[in-house]
Amino acid sequence: MKSTVSTLRNTLLKLILLAAALLLVSSYSPFQRLWDSASPKSFTEWYQINWQGQVVGWAKKSLEQTSDYYKVTAVEHFEGRVRGQRVKFIYQHTYFFDKEAPYNVVKGSAKLVEPQLTMTTQFYNNEALRVEQVRNDIASNVIEPQVSYHLDDYLAKRQWIEGQPTKGDSLTFLTLNPHSLSTSPEQLTVTRNPSGRHQHYQLQTDSGKRFELSLQGQVLVERRDRGIELVASKHKPSFNPEMQSDLYSNIGLPSNKPLGDIYKVKSLVLQLNEKTADWLTVHPTATKDKTSLIIQSGASHKSTPDEVNHWRFEPISDIVDKIQPDLSEVVNDKDKVNHLVKFVHDYLYYQPTPTSFTTEEVITNGYGDCTEYTQLLLALLNAQRIPAREVSGYIYLGDDEQRFGGHAWVEALIDGQWVGVDPTWNLTSLTAGHLPITIPQEKSVSDLDFTVEQIHYK
């Protein structure tokens, strides 16, 4: 019996020594980089897109080799209901990189589909950059200097993770806009290293995006502004838009009490959660006092000398110049602003439009929501050489809904004061129901916690 036990012990000891020897030998094997541009690893990665606690779409990223190129593809598909309307957004692009150093992008294509907008782009990037673009059946062709964007730029995050950066380390890399074909730098910083059961990196860009990456450099989670989140999936996610609640309703801020006729409200006092008060950004027309937020009707704020002296007006397009009303007999800026607010309100008809139109398209279409009303008023004020800018926030939607909805309006510089006006609602003075607050990119509407504490009527 002792002999058998001894033999078994010796056998186990030999196996352990053999495993250790194999491990030692393997540790001296050359390190195989997955993301070397000369021989990158092919991949197909799927993602589920979440927003406000709902599945709203899917995304796909892939890299493959052809006989002549490295082919990179990215697709994002969003779908849902906004104010009862079924809407769909598709963003996709494909780049082909040369298989010889410096692995520059040589051609590609892109497609954007939004409500009332379809745009396709084809480009060829050899001695020069040739771009063929069609935007809602309007074609354009452009020849520009060759763009410098390499496979190393596309793989930058993955290559960096292979180098095992530590917390606080930063990387600056280039991104390529698939339609404008312009490059822009973006900085990435490690905010957390792999540790314990959490064997992944946490990163953040200077624009506010947050990532979780595996040790191999794959994006596991990508968090964008307004609560949009991409989560890695083993296969193409499935979802049913008909099962979603209305996406517009989900981004509203519920009010704990009705406000009554908002035009008769002089001021509101909101009580903020302490954590909310720490990160909430408040426009100068509102007052934040510790955890209290005070909004006055008709509020304005004083401009600074730098704003007045260094304001830059943009060139006036032909179509804006053509539609602007004759204000030659209007003698002061206040009256000009008021005339233009009414003009924009009458020129456009309201239609929810979750699409990014140019000012020229807004004028041609003749419709839009608060974004388009704001955009057109800004163009007309620019033509009158009156400084103006967009303000984003929320607006009270009435006692029937008893909530605040996302909104945008304009503030114009009049006699040294920034004065808020709202062309969507045809207002030359804002109500106390206009909440001029900004939620940081890393937060979502669901993070904003407040109650209506006091209502003061006129």
Q: What is the pLDDT of residues 87-139, one digit of tens each?
A: 889 999 999 999 999 999 999 999 999 888 999 999 999 999 999 999 999 99
Q: Are 435 and 393 in contact (CB under 8 A)?
A: yes
CATH 3.10.620 occupies which residues in the chain? 251-457
* Residue 192 β-bridge partners: 202
Confidence (pLDDT) at 10: 55
* Number of residues assigned to the chain: 458
Tokens of 243: 């099962």
Question: Who contacts 173 (Cβ-Cβ below 8 Å, separation ≥6)?
Answer: 153, 156, 157, 185, 186, 188
Full DSSP string of 253-266: EE-SS----GGGEE
Structure tokens at 80: 């849902």
Pairing of strands 349-350, 367-368: parallel
The pair phi, psi for residue 327, each rounded to 5°, is: -115, 25
C-alpha to C-alpha distance for 87 and 348, rounded to whole angstroms: 21
CA distances to 40, 99, 203, 225 from 210, in Å: 25, 31, 6, 9
Residue 348 DSSP symbol:
S
Please tell me the distance from the alpha carbon of residue 79 to that of residue 101, in angstroms, as a whole number.
40
pLDDT at 249: 63
pTM for this entry: 0.73
Enumerate the H helices of 126-227 as residue ranges. 151-154, 156-162
Q: Does 3.40.462 match the CATH number of domain 251-457?
A: no
Using CA atoms, how far apart are residues 232 and 61, in angstroms rounded to an integer? Answer: 11
| pLDDT at site 27 | 37
Per-10-residue mean pLDDT for the chain, 458 residues long?
48 47 39 78 95 88 95 94 80 97 97 92 96 94 96 95 94 96 96 90 91 94 86 92 70 89 95 89 92 94 89 94 93 95 95 83 92 96 96 93 92 96 96 91 79 95
Query: Is residue 215 within 8 Å of residue 190, measured between CB atoms?
Result: no
**Secondary element (H or E) of residue 395:** strand 388-396
Q: At what angle do helices 370-383 and 333-347 cross, to 10 degrees?
A: 140
Contact 381, 390 (CB under 8 A): no
Q: Distance (Å, rounded) from C-alpha 110 to C-alpha 97?
A: 15
Average pLDDT, the chain: 89
Residue 16: what pLDDT? 47
Say if CB 190 and CB 210 are below 8 A apart.
no
The predicted pLDDT at position 89 comes to: 92
| pLDDT above 90 as % of the chain | 70
DSSP state of 222: E
Nearest to 357 by CA among 373, 380, 343, 340: 373
Which residue shows structure tokens 């964008």? 224
The answer to whether 104 and 98 have CB atoms below 8 angstroms apart is: yes
